[in-house]
Amino acid sequence: MHGRLKIKTTAEQAAEKQKEREGKRKLYLGGVTKAFEKRSSGTHDEEGLKITAQLLAANPDAATLWNFRREILLALKGDDESWEKLLTGELAMVESCLMKNHKSYGAWHHRFWVMMNFPKPPWKAELSLCDKYLKLDERNCELYFFLVFHELQTVVEAVFTDPSDQSPWFFLRWLVNRQEKVPRMLQVGYVRYKGDSGLVICVFSQPVPQRAVPFIRLNGADSDETLIWYAPNDEDYSNVWVAELNLSSVEAHTISLIIDPSMTEMLNVGEGSTQAIEWVTTLEVGGEELSDTARSTLEEVKDNCVTLDELDPGNKWVLLTLVDVMWALDCHTHQKKIHSYLSQLQELDVLRNKYYADMKSKLAMETSLKQYRIVAEVGSKFELSGHSLTRITLSHLLASTASIDLSRNDLTSISPLSNLVACRKLILDDNQIQNLAPLAGLKALESLSLTHNKIQSLEQLKVLEGLSALTELNILPFQSVKCFLDVERLKLHLHKNLIT
Three-point CA angle 37, 40, 46, nearest 5°:
65
Band of residue 382 on the pLDDT scale cut at 50, 70, 90? very high
Tell me the pLDDT band of 162, cut-offs 50, 70 and 90: low
pLDDT of 413: 94
Indicate the pLDDT class of residue 232, thresholds 50, 70 and 90. very high
For 70-126, the pLDDT digits (tens) are: 999 999 998 888 999 999 999 999 888 888 887 777 888 888 888 878 888 887 787
pLDDT at 151 over 80: no
Instruction: Say if residue 222's pLDDT is above 70.
Output: no
- Kindly indicate the confidence band of residue 483, based on its pLDDT and cuts at 50, 70 and 90: very low
pLDDT band at residue 172, thresholds of 50, 70 and 90? low
pLDDT at 383 over 80: yes
pLDDT at 301: 82
Tell me the mean pLDDT in the region 241-265: 82
Instruction: Give yes or no for residue 286 having a pLDDT over 60.
Output: no
- Exposed, middle or buried, 309 (CB in 10 Å: 0-12/13-18/19+)? middle
Give the N- to C-terminal CA distance of the chain in Å, as an integer.
98
Check pLDDT > 80 for residue 127.
no
Confidence (pLDDT) at 348? 92
- 155 pLDDT more than 50: yes
Q: How far apart are CA 209 and CA 224, in angstroms?
A: 17
Name the amino acid, one letter, at 19: K
Confidence at 167, pLDDT banded by 50, 70, 90? low
Q: What pLDDT score was predicted for residue 64?
A: 85
Phi, psi of 278 (to 5 degrees): -140, 125
User: Tell me, what's the pLDDT at 7?
Assistant: 61
pLDDT for the residue 264: 76
pLDDT exceeds 70 at position 275:
yes
What is the pLDDT, as a whole number, of residue 484? 44
Instruction: List the domains of the chain with CATH numbers.
Output: 13-139 (1.25.40.120), 185-279 (2.60.40.1130), 287-361 (1.25.40), 376-497 (3.80.10.10)
Least confident of 31-40, 143-152, 192-201, 343-352: 143-152
Most confident of 85-99, 164-178, 479-493: 85-99
Task: Average the pLDDT over each of 28-37, 113-122, 173-182, 240-249 and give the range with the smallest value.
Answer: 173-182
Taking phi first (over 0 means left), then psi (-120 to 50 degrees means alpha), and beta for anything else, what does residue 137 get? beta
Confidence of residue 481 (pLDDT cuts 50, 70, 90): very low
Identify the pLDDT of residue 261. 66
Determine contact, residues 236/257, Cβ cutoff 8 Å.
Answer: no
Mean pLDDT of 180-202: 83
Residue 176 pLDDT: 65
* Calpha distance 473→494 (Å, rounded): 11
Angle of helix 316-330 relative to helix 166-177, nearest 10 degrees? 20
Do 106 and 60 touch, CB atoms closer than 8 A? yes
* Residue 382 bridge partners (DSSP): 404
Higher pLDDT, 75 or 497: 75
Q: Which residue has the higher pLDDT, 432 or 285?
A: 432
